[in-house]
């Protein structure tokens, strides 16, 4: 749904394309910050508890759009998108492993593929609906995702809150499963001195490359929040150093995982894929309107929905073994 918001915010809040790109930044920043906490939540409260946390966050973020509309400031809408994306991160991080456990182990991949087919159909439908709700004046409709999330949370929760004697054969009650470590003693492999040096050089290059993409975004956020510009430079370089140290500690402490080429190359592939996808989809509505002035924003958003759904369908079909 966020891909059609760029053009909407450009017109309603009178911002430029660069500033509207903060929509995607707020969304994916939540994925970056919330992914590991989502796993910890699943381990602490179980998969079901994690899903309920995700649905609650989505509802809270959607409800926040009501006061955000009255505030009328760009940061308020970005905050709502960040909260919603945090909830989505919980759902996406937890739902897949939870799905593999809801039945025989050997059919876990099949269940995930079935879920992906339904996701494609839902993605196409919701983009058409989102376009219709976003471009007209729709202040009273911002609560719809919140109520939908609460309904799903209630449907997911309430049968298990009732006495088992009242519903001994309840089929709706979701099993309470926790994320657990695989059996056996965990083998900790530490990188050698040469490998430590290679890790440091590689992460330095990665941080240096990412700096040129992230620094302009950080400047936009800094300006949006009206912070002291004199503190921007030291804050920018301080965050870069912190990011490098955190990445170095993360890789070195989990070397058994990061030394596997399939994992590290998979991270790089996913990064490039999401970057390309986001860069294309975010400004497709702008591209269509600027190259065909006769097309309305609503029509352009429908075209975007069809294009995104087709790409999801092709990508999903390619993922089926």
Q: Output the tens digit of pLDDT for each of the chain's 321 residues.
A: 777 788 888 888 888 888 888 899 999 999 989 988 988 888 888 888 888 899 899 889 888 988 888 888 889 989 999 999 999 999 888 888 888 888 787 888 888 888 877 877 776 676 666 655 555 444 445 566 677 777 777 766 655 544 444 444 555 555 666 655 555 556 667 888 898 999 999 999 988 988 888 888 888 888 888 888 888 999 999 999 999 999 999 999 888 888 888 998 998 898 888 888 888 888 888 888 888 888 877 778 777 777 776 666 665 554 444
Name the CA radius of gyration of the chain, rounded.
22
| Contact partners, residue 33, CB within 8 Å, separation at least 6 | 86
Q: Which residue has the tokens 């079901």?
A: 48
- Predicted confidence at residue 197, as pLDDT, reads 93
CB 94 within 8 A of CB 47: yes
**Residues 287 and 300 sit within 8 Å (Cβ to Cβ):** no
Q: In angstroms, what CA-CA distances link 32 with 25, 40, 301, 315? A: 10, 14, 27, 22
CA distance 189 to 5: 46
Predicted pLDDT of residue 321: 42
CB 75 within 8 A of CB 126: no
From 19, 294, 1, select the one nearest 9 (Cα to Cα).
19
pLDDT at residue 204, as a whole number: 92
pTM of the model as a whole: 0.78
Query: What stretches of 50-170 adopt beta strand conformation (E)?
Result: none
Residue 68 in 3-state DSSP?
helix
Residue pair 251/196 in contact (Cβ under 8 Å)? The answer is no
> What is the reported pLDDT for 189?
79
Give the 3-state secondary structure of residue 22.
Answer: helix
Give the architecture (CATH level 2) of 1-180.
Answer: Up-down Bundle (1.20)
Vertex 141: Cα angle to 312 and 144 (nearest 5): 60
């Amino acid at each position: 749904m966020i891909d059609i918001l760029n053009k909407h915010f450009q017109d309603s809040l009178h911002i430029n394309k660069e500033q509207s790109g903060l929509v995607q930044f707020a969304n994916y920043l939540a994925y970056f910050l919330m992914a590991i906490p989502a796993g910890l939540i699943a381990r602490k409260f179980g998969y079901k508890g994690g899903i309920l946390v995700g649905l609650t966050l989505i509802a809270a973020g959607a409800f926040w759009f009501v006061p955000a509309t009255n505030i009328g400031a760009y940061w308020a809408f970005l905050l709502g998108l960040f909260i919603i994306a945090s909830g989505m991160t919980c759902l996406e991080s937890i739902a897949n492993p939870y799905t593999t456990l809801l039945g025989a182990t050997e059919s876990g991949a099949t269940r995930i593929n079935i879920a992906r087919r339904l996701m494609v159909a839902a993605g196409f439908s919701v983009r058409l609906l989102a376009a219709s709700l976003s471009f007209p004046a729709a202040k009273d409709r911002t609560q719809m995702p919140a109520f939908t999330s609460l309904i799903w949370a209630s449907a997911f929760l309430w049968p298990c809150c009732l006495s088992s004697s009242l519903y001994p054969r309840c089929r709706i009650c979701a099993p309470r499963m926790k994320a657990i470590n695989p059996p056996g003693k965990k083998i900790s492999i530490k990188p050698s001195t040469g490998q430590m040096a290679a890790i440091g050089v590689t992460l330095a290059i990665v941080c240096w490359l990412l700096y040129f993409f992230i620094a302009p975004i950080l400047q936009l956020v800094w300006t949006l929040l009206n912070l002291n510009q004199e503190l921007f430079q030291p804050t920018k370089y301080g965050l870069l150093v912190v990011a490098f140290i955190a990445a170095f500690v993360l890789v070195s402490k989990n070397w058994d995982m990061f030394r596997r080429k399939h994992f590290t190359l998979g991270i790089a592939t996913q990064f490039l894929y999401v970057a390309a996808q986001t860069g294309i989809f975010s400004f497709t509505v702008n591209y269509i309107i600027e190259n065909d002035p006769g097309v309305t924003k609503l029509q352009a958003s429908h075209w975007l929905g069809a294009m995104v759904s087709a790409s999801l369908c092709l990508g999903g079909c390619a993922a089926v073994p």
